[in-house]
């Protein structure tokens, strides 16, 4: 905790009972900060809202407590504004102690005395429920079947939902809003209807069932009914109109039929373009138009012989019609407004229709229109399926999985569901995809999906989560070991090699298992833990599974902390290079140095690369870090060459990550680094690990050739620990093999090690390569390597890695 003292100018305020009572009793979270931004006081509402305890946060810097790296700029802006004596009011995101994000309204208020800032107060209002409600309203607005609008009194659209765009014939609400600049002139067939509408709004403030003819975008004319109200400002003036629109064209057609003379009616009935029938009181069809015959396959003979409306209704939908009489086949439709129904044609095909009916004036007969929407329903079904399924494997996608997982959590909380989540990631998929192509990669994914699906129960959900990641949700489990048996079946099933386009491919997967429980609140938490367990399984080797425990979560959080600190370290240049001499084993002279990066951590001190390089490579931070190491190594070596002219042949050995090498334009960045630092290219040697070189294969040749053309040397690091053979080396433009220290350390203890080292040296010389031995720690090591004609070496026998100033002293004495 930082040392805190209350500014003397604010002490009277803090001693006032009224202020303290208001501060602590306020339902809004409030914190009082000193001028640098450290917490002096926090009320109970603040601690309860964000999940902190008062004793744990007093003295902490509020920005460090609350803000993520991406919010640092926002925090600096607030601090700057407050420092100028101006308050800040804004909507932003703040995270609870457990990491849960909240949408809040922040009021940051400076407390001034004698023209200077002495303290500040931050007041928060949780607006997460408000924004959630707004999103729910927006969902209703977007998915409503009625057209919903908001217009200015002058006749321009401010808001329109997709349903309104469809009714008016536009592809999107945005197109409608941009196109319809004057409603009265562009929309209404009779511009006078807009005047009537405005008069109603002026005198009554609303309209209901306001019917008008309007012109759609394509020029066709339809009937609509509007329901709207006026929304007023504080002075009682109308701000805007809002309401809903319904397409009543079919109903108006039916009304037109009723109002026309028999001859006119017959003409309209036949040419309406919609399948229409007249039903008698007993629901018998007494007349039908040609569109009805075309739609259903029935003919005039069927009508004359007696065809009832029930006869054309699909059996699955007959529940939508009721028996209306006690004797005889009397039926009636149960819904009077437009509604969907399935009908069956004479050939047995099922068609989806929208049914609209109207009662004939002065009789019990009804006119029923049937609009065929079968193709539209098929398209909607296809779109709905595509929205929730992966197009390659046809498995549920991430969205459908998360929905089912949320449902499983709710069931678990009710105590009637034991479930598990298995997170799978295919081993070496990127290597296979990059080397054999995306088509083969896609076929492997579909094969894996089918194989895994065959290992599951019908009720289990298998989803493609993304890329080569799959997730299984298994519910209603009988016992805890059941998900382990599922994982074992999957791993066993994937052991059979796959033949794809003449390629025999061995695939495996790493599986992380989480046993569901009521402690989980959200699906994202379970996926997070399953992903963590999967990475533990991957670390155990290919084709393994691991069950999540809390220690994994702790380690994951620690890794995330290291990643965040690493980002800060790279930004603030908290790194330093140490240099280990590389020695000519014949005359013990220095022929170069290997640069080794250390992290000068602000709290932990000097941290070795084993603790942060794997995380840097996993997160991609190795790219900016590696570029800094390359630049600083070249700059330092050039400085030594200028200061010590007798050592002009020295080389600086710099380790390069595979991720760096794969970056587009890496050879160009090497050229730029040499030009910027002034180091001669002959004095730079880039070291690349054996396994990384083999994973790149043909691409490595292209990349290394481009680097070698600059006269930069290439060395293979840790040779002997990968899976290559020396027979591959002639393909790659390399100059040096560096024998891994594990072989050198065992030279005088293991005769096999000595044979391996000797063989590597002999074959390397046969290929025209020189050899550097790592890990020389004893005079015995030096003697044995000299007898094997190894040219160069490094290790503690000669020197530990040294900071730059000690290297300068060593070169000055040499």
Task: Give a yes or no: residue 5 inside a domain.
Answer: no
Tell me the CATH number at 685: 3.20.20.450
Of 131, 152, 167, the residue at which a domain comes to its end is: 131
Residue 642: band (very low, low, confident or very high) from pLDDT cuts 50, 70, 90: very high
Residues 700 and 737 in one domain: yes
Residue closest to 241 by CA, chosen among 206, 212, 189: 206
Instruction: Give the pLDDT confidence score for residue 558 in this predicted structure.
Output: 77
Mean pLDDT (whole number) for 456-484: 92
Q: What pLDDT is attached to residue 334?
A: 43
User: Residues 282, 195: one domain?
Assistant: no
pLDDT of residue 329: 36
Residue 368 three-state SS = strand
What percent of the chain is predicted at pLDDT more than 90?
45
DSSP helix/strand/coil, 554: helix
Residue 699 pLDDT level (bands cut at 50, 70, 90): confident
Task: Give the domain CATH number at 200.
Answer: 3.30.450.20
Confidence label for 130 from pLDDT (cuts 50, 70 and 90): confident
Q: What was the pLDDT predicted at 266?
A: 66
C-beta separation of 422 from 471 below 8 A: yes
User: What percent of the chain has a predicted confidence (pLDDT) above 70?
Assistant: 91
Q: Is it the case that residue 666 has pLDDT exceeding 90? A: yes
pLDDT reported for residue 323: 42
> 799 and 668, same structural domain?
yes
Query: What pLDDT sits at residue 698?
Result: 67
Say if residues 281 and 260 touch (Cβ distance below 8 Å). Answer: no
Q: Say how many residues make up the chain.
A: 814
Mean pLDDT score, 63-73: 82
Question: For helices 482-493 and 438-454, what crossing angle results, to 10°?
Answer: 140
- pLDDT top residue among 65 and 799: 799
The residue from 501, 519, 548 where one domain ends is 548
Q: Are residues 537 and 441 in the same domain?
A: yes
Q: In this model, does residue 134 exceed pLDDT 80?
A: no
* pLDDT for res 325: 36
* One domain, residues 358 and 395: no
| pLDDT value at residue 449 | 94
Same domain as 497, residue 417: yes
Rounded to the nearest integer, the mean pLDDT of the chain is: 86
More confident residue, 138 or 615: 615
What SS3 class is residue 129? helix
DSSP label at 188? B
Q: Are residues 241 and 322 in the same domain?
A: no
Element (H, E) at 197: helix 192-204
How far is the C-alpha of 118 from the C-alpha of 273, rounded, in Å? 79
Has this prediction a pTM greater than 0.75? no
pLDDT tens string 544-575 = 999 988 777 677 677 778 888 999 999 999 99
pLDDT at 601 over 90: yes
Tell me, what's the pLDDT at 331?
41
Tell me, yes or no, whether 90 lies in a domain: yes
Q: Is residue 610 part of a domain?
A: no
Total count of domains within the chain: 5
Residue 350 belongs to what domain range? 251-377
Same domain, 783 and 634: yes
pLDDT computed for residue 494 by the predictor? 92
Strand, coil or helix: what is 510?
A: strand
CATH of the domain at 447: 3.30.70.270
């Amino acid at each position: 905790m930082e040392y805190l003292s209350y500014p003397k100018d604010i002490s009277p305020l803090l001693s006032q009972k009224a202020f303290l009572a208001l501060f602590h009793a306020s339902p809004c979270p409030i914190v009082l900060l000193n001028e640098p931004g450290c917490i002096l006081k926090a009320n109970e509402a603040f601690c309860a809202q964000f999940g902190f305890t008062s004793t744990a946060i007093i003295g902490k810097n509020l920005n460090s407590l609350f803000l993520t790296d991406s919010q640092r700029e926002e925090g600096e802006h607030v601090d700057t504004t407050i420092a100028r004596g101006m308050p800040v009011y804004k909507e932003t995101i703040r995270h609870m102690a457990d990491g849960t994000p909240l949408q809040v309204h922040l009021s940051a208020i400076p407390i001034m005395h004698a023209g200077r800032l002495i303290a500040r107060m931050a007041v928060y209002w949780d607006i997460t429920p408000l924004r959630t409600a707004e999103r729910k309203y927006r969902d209703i607005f977007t998915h409503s079947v009625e057209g919903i609008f908001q217009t200015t009194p002058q006749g321009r659209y401010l808001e329109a939902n997709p349903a309104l765009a469809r009714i008016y014939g536009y592809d999107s609400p945005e197109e409608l809003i941009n196109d319809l600049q004057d409603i009265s002139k562009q929309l209404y067939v009779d511009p006078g209807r807009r005047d009537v509408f405005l008069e109603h709004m002026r005198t009554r403030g609303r309209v209901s069932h306001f019917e008008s003819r309007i012109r759609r975008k394509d020029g066709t004319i339809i009937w609509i009914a509007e329901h709207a109200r006026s929304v007023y400002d504080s002075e009682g003036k109308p701000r805007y109109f809002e309401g809903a629109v319904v397409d009543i064209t079919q109903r108006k057609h039916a009304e037109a039929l009723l109002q026309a003379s028999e001859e006119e009616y017959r003409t309209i009935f036949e040419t309406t373009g919609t399948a229409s029938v007249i039903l008698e009181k007993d629901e018998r069809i007494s007349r039908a138009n040609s569109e009805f015959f075309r739609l259903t396959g029935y003919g005039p003979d069927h009508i004359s012989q007696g065809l009832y409306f029930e006869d054309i209704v699909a059996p699955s939908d007959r529940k939508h019609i009721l028996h209306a009489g006690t004797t005889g086949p009397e039926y009636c439709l149960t819904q009077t407004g437009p509604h969907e129904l399935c009908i069956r044609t004479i050939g047995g095909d099922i068609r989806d229709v929208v049914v609209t009916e109207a009662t004939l004036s002065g009789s019990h007969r009804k006119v029923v229109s049937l609009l065929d929407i079968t193709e539209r329903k098929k398209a909607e079904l296809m779109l709905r399926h595509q929205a929730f399924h992966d197009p390659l494997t046809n498995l549920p996608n991430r969205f459908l999985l998360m929905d089912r997982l949320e449902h499983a959590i709710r069931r678990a909380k009710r105590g009637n569901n034991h479930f598990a989540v298995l997170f799978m990631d295919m081993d070496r998929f990127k290597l296979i995809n990059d080397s054999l192509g995306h088509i083969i990669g896609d076929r492997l994914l579909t094969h894996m999906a089918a194989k895994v699906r065959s290992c599951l129960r019908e009720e289990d959900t298998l989803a493609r989560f993304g890329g080569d990641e799959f997730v299984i949700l298994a519910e209603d489990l009988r016992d805890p070991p059941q998900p382990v048996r599922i994982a074992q079946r999957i791993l066993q099933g994937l052991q059979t090699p796959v033949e794809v386009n003449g390629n025999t491919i061995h695939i495996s997967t790493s599986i992380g298992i989480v046993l569901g429980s009521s402690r989980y609140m959200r699906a994202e938490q379970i996926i997070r833990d399953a992903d963590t367990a999967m990475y533990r399984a991957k670390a155990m080797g290919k084709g393994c599974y691991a069950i999540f425990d809390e220690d994994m979560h702790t380690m994951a959080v620690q890794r995330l902390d290291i990643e965040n600190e690493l980002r800060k370290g790279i930004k603030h240049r908290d790194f330093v290079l140490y240099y280990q001499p590389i020695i000519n084993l014949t005359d013990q002279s220095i022929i170069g140095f290997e640069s080794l990066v250390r992290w000068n951590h602000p709290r932990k001190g000097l941290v070795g690369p084993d603790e942060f390089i794997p995380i840097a490579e996993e997160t991609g931070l190795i790219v900016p870090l590696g570029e800094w190491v390359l630049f600083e190594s070249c700059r330092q070596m050039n400085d030594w060459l200028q200061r010590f002219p007798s050592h002009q042949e020295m080389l600086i050995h710099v380790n390069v990550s595979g991720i760096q090498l794969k970056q587009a334009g890496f050879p160009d960045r090497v050229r730029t680094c040499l030009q910027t630092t002034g180091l001669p290219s002959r004095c730079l040697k880039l070291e690349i690990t054996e396994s990384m070189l083999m994973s790149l294969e043909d691409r490595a040749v292209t990349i290394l050739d481009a680097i070698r053309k600059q006269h930069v040397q290439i060395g293979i690091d840790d040779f002997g620990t990968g899976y290559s053979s020396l027979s591959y080396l002639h393909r790659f433009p390399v100059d040096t093999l560096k024998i891994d220290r594990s072989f050198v350390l065992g030279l005088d203890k293991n005769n096999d090690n000595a044979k391996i080292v000797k063989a590597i040296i002999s074959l390397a010389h046969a290929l025209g390569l020189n050899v550097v031995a790592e890990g020389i720690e004893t005079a015995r090591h030096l003697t044995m390597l000299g007898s094997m004609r190894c040219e160069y070496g490094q290790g503690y026998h000669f020197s530990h890695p040294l900071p730059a100033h000690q290297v300068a002293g060593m070169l000055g004495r040499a």
